[in-house]
Amino acid sequence: MAPRGTSVRGALGALLAVAAFAAPAAAASDREGATSAAPISCVAEQFALRSYVISRQSAAVTSGDRDPARIVQALTPVCRQAIQGGRWPGLAHELLAHASEDPAVKRVICELAPPEAWSAVVAWESADEETRAAYDLPCAVALFRHRPEDFTRLVVPRLGGAGGCAFPELAARLGAAVSPAERLQLLPTLEFATRTHAQGRDRLFAVLCQHPAARTQAVCQAPAVLENTWAHEARIERARIPMALHLGLAALFALAACLLRHYRGTDWPAVTMSVIATVAATAMVTWAIATAPTPGAGALNARNFVMGMVATPVAALFGGLVAWAFIRSARGAALPWCLLHAALYGAVGAIHAWNGAWDRLC
């Protein structure tokens, strides 16, 4: 004979189940269908669903019962198995009736993952990025676990994006949302991020390489932090051409001045070349000072740009006048003057180009 406490709990459960299934006189037939085929033990879930349906159809707009997340919070493992096994179709049908007007309902449906809703979930994941924002993660997780073909077709192309700045956050969020064992299936995304030097790769590595089986894979045996190295390499690549340009122009000017002085003697255009060297060097120094970038601040701000545009030609004009007056009275100093200002221009231009290309991937 069963203990008395067990009999009491069984009787209470039966009464609650009867109460959950018993619809009020005014209840519609579709509301009763919401609990069709639900296990008797899923009493709390049935009450949560009924409260949600009643509040949606009433004027109680501010009612806490309108929150569909209450249904997920009340789920037990037995009821979750019933939903995913298709033994509670009424729940999915009732929620789908409200999904078009409430993204929160779509989140709940994806968290419940009822087989009756797969066609709807696939359609939701096919929507544009702005529309998907409110429910993208739980629906992606649902497809990942239950519809791998649709996951590969709809979600996988978004996990890698185009690399670099376009690398999406969804990959790391998805990895954090699934179990460590499931994350092994997302390792190709980490491999793609590593191969393309994508921003966000280090976070993805930390999420996906926790499982012992993952750490045996080559992609998880790479350094955990690589973005700093990639950012410095990207800085070198961005600064390489402008630095070479400034240094090359300075070297060519200095070489031209030396050759002209050597072959034409005192007849070379000393004043003109001295003025040119001074104007270029003064303009570069003034522009570099006025538009000096702040590390990590991004693009040049409007105030510094305007200041540079005004100050640079004024300083260049003043420097040219000084060079013209000085070299006319001390023509013998023209070659050292040209070489000095060419070196100044090249050094300042190269330093400014390097400082303007700080370590960043994007």
- Helix 201-208 and helix 187-195, axial crossing angle in degrees, nearest 10: 150
- Whole-angstrom distance, CA of residue 190 vs CA of residue 198: 9
- What's the half-sphere exposure (Cβ side, CA atoms, 13 Å) at 229? 8
Q: CA Rg, the chain, in Å?
A: 35
Residue 140 maps to a domain: yes
Q: Which residue has the tokens 């004024």?
A: 314
Residue 14 lies in a domain: no
The per-residue pLDDT for 91 is: 83
102 and 132 within one domain: yes
Mean pLDDT of the region 219-232: 94
Local structure of 60: helix, strand or coil: coil
C-alpha distances out from residue 336 to 202, 257, 278, Å: 52, 10, 12
Contacts of 114 (CB under 8 A, 6+ apart): 83, 84, 86, 88, 89, 91, 92
Task: Kindly indicate the confidence band of residue 20, based on its pLDDT and cuts at 50, 70 and 90.
Answer: very low
Q: What is the pLDDT of residues 36-85, one digit of tens each?
A: 666 777 877 777 777 777 776 675 555 566 678 877 887 888 888 888 88
Indicate whether 186 and 233 sit together in one domain: no
The segment with the largest mean pLDDT, out of 100-114, 118-132, 292-306, is: 118-132
Q: Do 218 and 287 share a domain, yes or no?
A: no
The verdict on 236 and 351 lying in the same domain is yes
Q: Specify the pLDDT at position 305.
A: 82
Give the separation between CA 361 and CA 237, rounded to whole angstroms.
11
Residue 5 has pLDDT above 80, yes or no: no
Neighbours of 181 (CB within 10 A): 10
Q: What is the pLDDT of residues 171-220, one digit of tens each?
A: 889 999 999 899 999 999 999 889 888 888 999 999 999 889 999 999 99
What is the per-residue DSSP string for 94-120? HHHHHHTT-HHHHHHHHHH--GGGHHH
Would 345 be classed as within a structural domain? Answer: yes
| Spatial CB neighbours of 297, under 8 Å, sequence gap ≥ 6 | none
Last residue of a domain, one of 98, 122, 146: 146
Domain co-membership, 124 together with 30: yes
Q: Where are the alpha helices (DSSP H) in 58-88?
A: 69-73, 77-84
Q: How many domains does the chain have?
A: 3
Q: What is the mean pLDDT of residues 109-115?
A: 92
Q: Assess whether 130 and 31 both reside in one domain.
A: yes
Are 64 and 86 found together in one domain? Answer: yes
* Other CB atoms within 10 A of residue 227 CB: 20
* Domain end position, chosen among 225, 242, 258: 225
Q: Is residue 13 part of a domain?
A: no
Task: Mark whether 106 and 166 lie in a shared domain.
Answer: no
pLDDT score of 162 = 52
Residue 15 has pLDDT above 60, yes or no: no
CA distance 204 to 173: 9
State the pLDDT confidence band at 95, using cuts at 50, 70 and 90: confident
Are both 116 and 165 inside the same structural domain?
A: no
pLDDT > 70? residue 339: yes
How many residues belong to the chain? 362
Q: Do the domain assignments include residue 133?
A: yes
Which of 304-330 are b and which e, b meaning 16 or more Cβ less than 10 Å from the residue's Cβ? Answer: beebbeebbeebbeebbeebeebbeee
Instruction: Give backbone dihedrals phi and psi of 203, rounded to 5 degrees, phi first.
Output: -65, -40
Residue 22, pLDDT above cutoff 70: no
Classify residue 289: in a domain, yes or no. Answer: yes
**Chain segment 274-320, per-residue pLDDT in tens:** 999 999 999 999 999 988 866 545 556 677 788 889 999 999 999 99
In the structure, what pLDDT confidence band is assigned to residue 93 with cuts at 50, 70 and 90?
confident
In angstroms, the CA 153 to CA 133 distance is 18
Q: Can you read off the two tokens belonging to residue 182?
A: 């499931």
Question: In the structure, what pLDDT confidence band is assigned to residue 164 with cuts at 50, 70 and 90?
Answer: low
**Cα separation of 322 and 332, whole Å?**
16
The predicted pLDDT at position 294 comes to: 60
Q: What integer is the mean pLDDT of 22-33?
A: 39
Please check whether residues 294 and 238 belong to one and the same domain. Answer: yes
Q: Say what the pTM is.
A: 0.69
Would 328 be classed as within a structural domain?
yes
Residues 74, 103, single domain; the answer is yes
CA–CA–CA angle 211, 216, 219 (5° rounding) = 95
pLDDT of 153 over the 60 cut: yes
Q: Is 9 inside a domain boundary?
A: no
Mean pLDDT, residues 340-354? 96
Looking at 225, 248, 274, the residue that finishes a domain is 225
Mean pLDDT of 142-151: 94
Can you give the pLDDT at residue 360?
84
Torsion of CA 206, 211, 213, 216, to 10 degrees: 30
Q: What is the mean pLDDT of the chain?
A: 83
> Given its phi and psi angles, is residue 272 left (phi above 0), alpha (psi -120 to 50 degrees) or beta?
alpha
Tokens of 36: 């069709």
pLDDT in tens, 154-163: 999 888 755 5
Same domain (yes/no): 268, 333: yes
Mean pLDDT of 105-126: 93
Task: Give residue 299's pLDDT.
Answer: 52
Which residues span the domain enclosing 264? 228-356
Return the H-helix or E-strand segment holding 210.
none
pLDDT value at position 60? 55
